[in-house]
Amino acid sequence: GAGVSQTPSNKVTEKGKYVELRCDPISGHTALYWYRQSLGQGPEFLIYFQGTGAADDSGLPNDRFFAVRPEGSVSTLKIQRTERGDSAVYLCASSLTSGGIYEQYFGPGTRLTVT
């Protein structure tokens, strides 16, 4: 079946602009995670959804970052007033649920470049 998909695969934007990154999880997966990976680093946790609600947003770096998952499937990560430091690969992962030990399946990522 289809895996986790993310769009766009690449996004170049100017400093100060607003961007939206989309994640389509595996069908039936209720848990959805956003991570950010800077060049040469391991991914860092941003936010986690169980169903429609953000159960843990402790990794969001500041209030310019926001994410939604209104119907419990597709999620959108929104970044306002982008800064050059936001340039990174944004990864999405989904799992069957957060309870218990379930595998997380990763999307291919969106490479964001802020110029």
| Contact positions vs other proteins (CB under 8 A) | 31, 33, 35, 40-45, 48, 50, 55-56, 59, 91, 93, 95, 98-99, 101-109
Q: CB of 49: closest distance to other proteins in angstroms?
A: 10
Cα 22–chain centre separation:
7
Q: Which is nearer to other proteins, 66 or 105 (CB)?
A: 105
Query: Judged by CB, which is closer to other proteins: 87, or 104?
Result: 104
Q: Give the nearest distance from C-beta 101 to other proteins in angstroms.
A: 5
Note whether 76 and 68 are within 8 A (CB): yes
β-pairing verdict for 110-114 and 53-56: unpaired
Phi-psi category of 28—alpha, beta or left, where left has phi over 0 and alpha has psi -120 to 50? left
Using CA atoms, how far apart are residues 2 and 62, in angstroms rounded to an integer? 33
Compute the least distance from the CB of residue 6 to other proteins, in Å.
Answer: 9
3-state secondary structure of 3: coil
CB of residue 61 vs other proteins: minimum separation in angstroms?
Answer: 15
Judge contact between 84 and 103, C-beta under 8 A.
Answer: no
